[in-house]
Structure 1
């Protein structure tokens, strides 16, 4: 079976407002058949606690639907935040979309 992969390119600051938008976007994508979601964080400069909460919420939504969520292109600052909050253990991350394509899509 070929997976329906959708990529969301996030940018700016991931805070409570943007987090709510992200939850709606992910929910809509899954309603429309996406079963693998890649969040590209290349343009994300900062994530606050509400944004982290939104990422965890999105992960739970995706898992509850038996779908998969991946992150890529995380900045050094965001990576440090993930390591401090142990989020790096929860999310599968890739250096960029190319690495995601090689490791995830090539095995489909």
Structure 2
């Protein structure tokens, strides 16, 4: 699987947009790419899920792993634009308490 698209907002926020199914294959790619982003010096990360049609436990694990990596580096990971299926999975697992959804990537770190 190829890397997911990334972009920067301002000087210190990196946005990554997984596409398709965030299952075992996609989760592995996401986890590696999130580690690379933090290793590259950016610890404030937004995961834009607008193009993600499905997430399973592997995908959730990659998001939590990215959250941990970002926080250990002094930053944070935030998610935006969650489709209905992703929102349902987050609510069923209570991970919506750990990973609240923000309205847009551009405003996720406005607080």
For normalisation by structure 1, the TM-score amounts to 0.84
For normalisation by structure 2, the TM-score amounts to 0.82
Structure 2: any 5+ residue segments left out of the alignment?
A: 1-9
Any residues of structure 2 matched to 1:57-76 within 5 Å, and which? 57-76=65-84
Structure 1: any 5+ residue segments left out of the alignment?
A: none
Counterpart of 1:79 in 2: which secondary structure? helix
1:92 to 81, 87, 100: 100
Supply the RMSD in Å over aligned alpha carbons. Answer: 1.7
Counterpart of 1:66 in 2: which secondary structure? coil
Largest Rg, 1 or 2: 1
- Residue number in structure 2 paired with 1:27: 35
Q: Distance in 2 between matches of 1:97 and 1:57?
A: 19
Counterpart of 1:7 in 2: which secondary structure? strand
Q: Distance in 2 between matches of 1:58 and 1:91?
A: 11
More helix by share: 1
- Residue number in structure 2 paired with 1:83: 91
CA contact (8 A) 1:59 1:69 kept: yes
Deviation at 1:97, TM superposition (A): 2.4
CA contact (8 A) 1:3 1:36 kept: no
Any residues of structure 2 matched to 1:48-59 within 5 Å, and which? 48-59=56-67
CA contact (8 A) 1:3 1:35 kept: no
Number of matched pairs: 102
